[in-house]
Structure 1
Amino acid sequence: MNKRTEIGISETNRADVALELSKILADEFVLYTKTRNAHWNVEGPDFYSIHKFFESQYEQLDEVMDDVAERIRAIGHYAPATLKMYLQLTHLSEESREENDSAGYIKELLSDHQTVIIHLRENINKFATEYHDLGTSDFITGLMERHEKMAWMLRVHLK
């Protein structure tokens, strides 16, 4: 029985794609954690509605994380799954807040979503042309669109 991953993408390219997807997974995990933090710790007169809003956002990010990890597995690699690895791979930073107001959390999370969107957009063509992986290119296009919608939902709270 052949246990090798034979999907029409070279082993080297699959390893490079897996590394880039691992960075995306790390970004998703850090953003998920920051959104959970906002959900748990937001204060102010809009507490209940924002608390529920952040809950819907972290639930979406939980699904995204699972999808990214499963994509890594589908191309024949293991997904990173430790906090240490995520902090080494992420493009985002952990922030500590002095105030727990909704506007502050929303601005911070919006900035992170925009960082993720830009990083995803920069890699769409790279996955397709350099790594010959149209599946992952399409996959991250979908992720980018999900983050664009989540960013929009955050942005409208700041109007």
Structure 2
Amino acid sequence: MTTHIGITEENRKAVADQLAKLLADEFVLYTKTRNAHWNIEGADFHAMHLFFESQYQQLDDLMDSVAERMRKIGHYAPATLSQFLQLTHLTEISDRKNDSAGFIKELLEDQESIISFLRGNINTFANTYKDLGTSDYITGLMETHEEMAWMLRAHFGNA
């Protein structure tokens, strides 16, 4: 059935294409956060194990909401690892050790990359594509990522 929500198909497709990239970024960040949870080592193991668990649980919810937003505007969400790796702005490559400082630095960089991507699309979604709903949605998502980045940054004492 055709989606009739007051936004042209061309504009909904353009928004969905950007949301697909976002979903890929969320999935890669989720996977990297799971890696940190599983492989953290050091004197702060237990605290960081629990911290990374709370972050990946948040990311799991965010991924679901991004995919559902795509469905609400009439498009399918990518759902394969190969699609995610083709769409993501992030990288899986890492040269850090399995300590909290290394994981936090890497995850913080990825969070900030997602924040910048979201911020760069807020006005475009609203003004160019006439999708105020998705613009509002990603504004809230950006605020969630800002809080998650703050929690990571706080470990370095310059939050």
Q: TM-score range by the shorter chain?
A: over 0.9
Paired position in structure 2 for 1:129: 127
Aligned match of 2:68: 70
Asked if structure 1 preserves the Cα contact closer than 8 Å seen for 2:37 and 2:53, the reply is yes
CA deviation map 1:30-54 (0-9, x unaligned): 0000000000000000000000000
Amino acid at match of 1:103: A
Give the letter aligned to residue 131 of structure 1: Y
In structure 2, C-alpha distance between the alignment counterparts of 1:75 and 1:132, rounded to whole Å: 12
Aligned-pair CA distance for 1:98: 5.1
Q: CA deviation at 1:142?
A: 0.6
The runs of at least 4 aligned residues of structure 1 exceeding 2 Å deviation read: 95-98
CA RMSD of aligned residues (A): 0.7
- Equivalence for 2:107: 109
What is the aligned residue count?
A: 157
* Contact kept in structure 1, 2:24 and 2:85, CA below 8 Å: yes
Q: Deviations over 1:53-86 (max 9, x none)?
A: 0000000000000000000000001000001000
In the aligned structure 2, how far is the partner of 1:119 from the partner of 1:18? Answer: 14
In structure 1, give the amino acid aligned to 2:127: T
1:152 is aligned to 2:129 = no
> Per-residue CA shift, 1:74-109, capped at 9, x if unaligned?
000100000100011011001234520000000000
TM score, norm. by length of structure 1: 0.97
Residues 1-159 of structure 1 mapped to structure 2, 5 A cutoff: 3-97=1-95, 99-159=97-157
Where do 5+ consecutive residues of structure 1 fail to align?
Answer: none
Tell me, in whole angstroms, the C-alpha distance in 2 between the residues paired with 1:97 and 1:34. 13
Read off the aligned partner of 1:118 and give its amino acid letter: S
- TM value normalised by structure 2: 0.97
Percent of pairs with identical residues: 68
In 2, Cα distance between equivalents of 1:98 and 1:77: 37
